[in-house]
Amino acid sequence: MRSLPLPLALTARLSPVVVLAAAGWALSSGPATPAAEDTATQKSGDESPSAPATAAVSKTYAAAPAPCDSLSSKSVKELVPGAKTAGKEIPSTDAKVRRTCSWNALQGFDYRWLDVSYEVTESDEAAEKSYKERVADKSGGGEVPGVGDAGYSVVNLTTEDEQQTREGVVLVRAANALVSVTYSGSDFESNKAPATAEINQGAIKAAKEAVAALEDGQKG
């Protein structure tokens, strides 16, 4: 059997984990209560009641769920034939905020790769902003209805050394969390890529399961 080296694009796909830093605020105490004889003059308008501290943002999701538990064994076997159903979690600098699991396998000449990522932001607004920015960077796709608060799917075809690879990406916003699925495939015998529908439907299937796992998981 001839050697089947994987294209460079398939052997170095995972991008570095983004480091998310959280800022803190310090509350300073107000001036001491004035003496009784001075109270009347200060209430003329120079003094206003101490403003309460800004309320902490209510977060639906406090932490990212275990990504390797996001898909059923049946789905993994269907989408990535030959892969270990347990998956492999990618090390993260802050597992509470961002977690990713990968499955990949070469069965015969067919190669499949699947990533499921969770990212928990500080608020719905922050998640919505990030979602819109990422969708804008991945033009040519379309909305995915019925999943989370908003869903988007796009499929692209690349060719390297005459080998085609088709990759589908689905991004979903659910409250203050983002769920991202990347699903790709190649046929190393024909040098062709799987059909667009196969990759797109597979990515959407994984995304729906991943969002369901998020919704069933830890709540803030």
First to last CA, the chain: 54
Question: Residue 133: inside a domain, yes or no?
Answer: yes
Question: Residue 15: inside a domain, yes or no?
Answer: no
Q: For residue 110, is it left (φ>0), alpha (ψ between -120 and 50) or beta?
A: beta
75/65 Cα distance (integer angstroms):
18
Question: Residue 30: inside a domain, yes or no?
Answer: no
Q: What is the pLDDT of residues 85-125, one digit of tens each?
A: 999 999 999 999 999 999 999 999 999 999 999 999 999 99
Question: Residue 38: inside a domain, yes or no?
Answer: no
Question: Residue 101: inside a domain, yes or no?
Answer: yes
The domain that holds 97 is classified in CATH as 2.60.120
Question: Residue 14: inside a domain, yes or no?
Answer: no
Domain that holds residue 150: 65-216
Question: Residue 168: inside a domain, yes or no?
Answer: yes
Number of domains in the chain: 1
Confidence band of 42 (pLDDT split at 50, 70, 90):
very low
Q: What is the pLDDT of residues 138-187, one digit of tens each?
A: 989 999 999 999 999 999 999 999 999 999 999 999 999 999 999 999 99
